[in-house]
Amino acid sequence: MQKTITVLPGDGIGQEVVEAATKVLDKVAERYGHQFEYRYGDIGGTSIDKNNDPLPQETIDTCLQSDGVLLGAVGGPKWDNLKSGMRPEQGLLGIRKALGLFANLRPVTGHESLTDSSTLKKEVIEGVDLVIVRELTGGLYFGEPKERREIDGESGAVDTLAYKKSEIERIVRQAFEMAKVRRKKLTSVDKANVLETSRLWRETVDEIKGDYPEIEVEHMLVDNAAMQLIREPKQFDVVVTENTFGDILSDAASMLTGSLGMLPSASIGSKAPGLYEPVHGSAPDIAGKGIANPLATISSAAMMLKYSFGMLEEADAIDNAVAEVLRNGHRTGDLAKPGEKALSTEEMTEKVIDAL
Ligand code: ATP
Ligand code: MG
């Protein structure tokens, strides 16, 4: 297959980890007979320096014309207080908006070989392979009114939790589609015992499930889900939930894996290409040193193959290569124990390529 990938390295270690991921993609292309064409775009602080704009129109156009977007990271102290008022993060928010991304996907994979660097027990981590699908455009963060006002004669504040049925439908369908290419189990998380939006959410899931008879569906209240994610995370495959619950649950679940340097993410829209990026930021403290852990970005590239290109076998090959490298004891600095030898970004990338 021939695919066009827009690469937005951005700032700090973004440059380094994105280069690592494209090398891995090149290996996949070679092995499976695909052609990946990369188009590079500017975003974030480096783009402010170069173009006086954190997100030039040209970058947006390039993204829209491609099959997938791979992003490094944006931000850094250098651009914290610019006179122009520009911020690197405007680039990220802008590109998410321009691509109409409404679903944020965060997989959590338990690498047992990392349990020595995590506070969690091996029995809990072993076999964990779940993905949280978070609604990204609605709910409490965007509902109107959102204001300060007097309530019962006192000063108070109001936020509004609102969902349109169509917003629920598209994220729930997305989650069912993902469950289809995974272990075919969907957990819908809500608070239907007290929230009207959650009751609509639950009804909508029950309507849509008729279209996916092969998927096992369960509903879970968010408080219970928070507990179950920590207690027995292996029970989950795909977890779908609204914006606020997803924000909290995905951060909690991310800590099952140990390091920020391990966590990939994807954001999906309806027509435009998906955006794939590591969960971590630009890590200014280690930028330019060649020691960043590239695995989060490499795994993000694997997600692009799976969810945007339908290359399931190729994506699994990358995931398996990452797991193997960790099993063989290879560690970058963020994963290494004191005194243990730490690999550079480039060495770690070579290990993954060798495993492929
Ligand atoms: P942002 O505001 O963009 O989220 P941040 O400063 O909150 O940025 P990160 O940039 O992700 O967060 O960095 C947090 C810490 O984790 C830093 O000490 C950084 O060095 C470390 N870190 C983040 N990503 C990696 C990585 N890929 N490899 C090694 N260490 C990392
Ligand atoms: Mg941060």
Residue 118 pLDDT > 70, yes or no?
A: no
CA atoms 100, 304, 92, 147: torsion sign: positive
Buried b vs exposed e over 73-94: b needs ≥16 C-beta within 10 Å?
Answer: bbbbebbeeeeeebbbebbbeb
Residues 146 and 36 reside in one and the same domain:
no
Give the Cα-Cα-Cα angle 58, 8, 92 (nearest 5 degrees).
80
Ligand-binding annotation for 288, yes or no, is: yes
Residue 248 pLDDT > 90, yes or no?
A: yes
Q: Ligand 1, from 251, 260, 265: best to mutate by most atoms within 8 Å of Cβ?
A: 260
What ipTM was assigned to the predicted interfaces of this complex?
0.94
Residue 252 pLDDT > 60, yes or no?
A: yes
The runs of H, that is alpha helices, within 14-155 are: 14-32, 45-51, 57-64, 89-98, 122-125
Residues 273 and 305 reside in one and the same domain:
yes
Residues 34 and 76 reside in one and the same domain:
yes
Whether 23 maps to a domain, the answer reads yes
- Confidence tier at 142 by pLDDT (50, 70, 90): confident
CA distance linking residue 126 with residue 130, whole number of Å? 12
Residues 181 and 285 reside in one and the same domain:
no
- Confidence tier at 115 by pLDDT (50, 70, 90): confident
Among 257, 286, 310, which residue terminates a domain? 257
Residues 248 and 271 reside in one and the same domain:
no
Instruction: Give mean pLDDT, residues 236-251.
Output: 95
Backbone phi and psi for residue 40, each to the nearest 5 degrees, phi listed first: -90, 140
Tally of domains within the chain: 2
pTM greater than 0.95: no
Mean pLDDT of all residues belonging to the chain: 94
Verify whether residue 247 is a known catalytic residue. yes
Residues 30 and 85 reside in one and the same domain:
yes
Residues 199 and 225 reside in one and the same domain:
yes
Verify whether residue 141 is a known catalytic residue. yes
What pLDDT does 164 receive?
A: 97
pLDDT 10s digits, 199-223? 999 999 999 999 999 999 999 999 9
Q: Which residues span the domain enclosing 355? A: 1-103+260-356
Nearest CA to ligand 1 atom 21: 283
Whether 158 maps to a domain, the answer reads yes
The atom of ligand 1 lying closest to the CA of 73 is 3
Among 257, 280, 307, which residue terminates a domain? 257
Whether 112 maps to a domain, the answer reads no
Answer yes or no: are the C-beta atoms of 276 and 68 closer than 8 Å.
Answer: yes
Whether 110 maps to a domain, the answer reads no
Nearest to 34, CA basis, from 274, 294, 303, 309: 309
What pLDDT does 293 receive?
A: 97
Residue 281 pLDDT > 70, yes or no?
A: yes
pLDDT 10s digits, 41-83? 999 999 999 999 999 999 999 999 999 999 999 999 999 999 9
Length of the chain: 356
Chain centroid to Cα 316, Å, comes to 17
Answer yes or no: are the C-beta atoms of 312 and 106 closer than 8 Å.
Answer: no
Nearest CA to ligand 1 atom 19: 283
The atom of ligand 1 lying closest to the CA of 297 is 27
Whether 276 maps to a domain, the answer reads yes
What pLDDT does 110 receive?
A: 87
Residue 119 pLDDT > 70, yes or no?
A: no
Share of the chain above pLDDT 70, in %: 98
Which residues does a 6 A CB cutoff place in the pocket of ligand 1? 13, 17, 75, 260-261, 280-283, 285-286, 292-293, 296, 334
Residues 231 and 145 reside in one and the same domain:
yes
Whether 180 maps to a domain, the answer reads yes
CA distance linking residue 159 with residue 280, whole number of Å? 29
Buried b vs exposed e over 101-111: b needs ≥16 C-beta within 10 Å?
Answer: bbbbbbbbbbb
Chain centroid to Cα 121, Å, comes to 24
What pLDDT does 183 receive?
A: 96
What pLDDT does 272 receive?
A: 84
Residue 120 pLDDT > 80, yes or no?
A: no
What pLDDT does 260 receive?
A: 83
Whether 44 maps to a domain, the answer reads yes
Residue 117 pLDDT > 70, yes or no?
A: no
CA distance linking residue 171 with residue 286, whole number of Å? 36
Among 225, 242, 257, which residue terminates a domain? 257
- Confidence tier at 116 by pLDDT (50, 70, 90): low
Residues 142 and 246 reside in one and the same domain:
yes
Residues 143 and 272 reside in one and the same domain:
no
Measured from the Cβ of residue 267, the count of other Cβ atoms closer than 10 Å reads 22
Measured from the Cβ of residue 289, the count of other Cβ atoms closer than 10 Å reads 13
CATH number assigned to the domain comprising residue 240: 3.40.718.10
Residues 223 and 296 reside in one and the same domain:
no
Nearest to 307, CA basis, from 341, 277, 267, 248: 267
- Confidence tier at 139 by pLDDT (50, 70, 90): very high
Instruction: Give mean pLDDT, residues 103-131.
Output: 83
Residue 218 β-bridge partners? 187
Residues 174 and 68 reside in one and the same domain:
no
The runs of H, that is alpha helices, within 33-121 are: 45-51, 57-64, 89-98
Whether 268 maps to a domain, the answer reads yes
Which of 36-40, 89-93, 259-263, 264-268 is predicted least confidently?
259-263
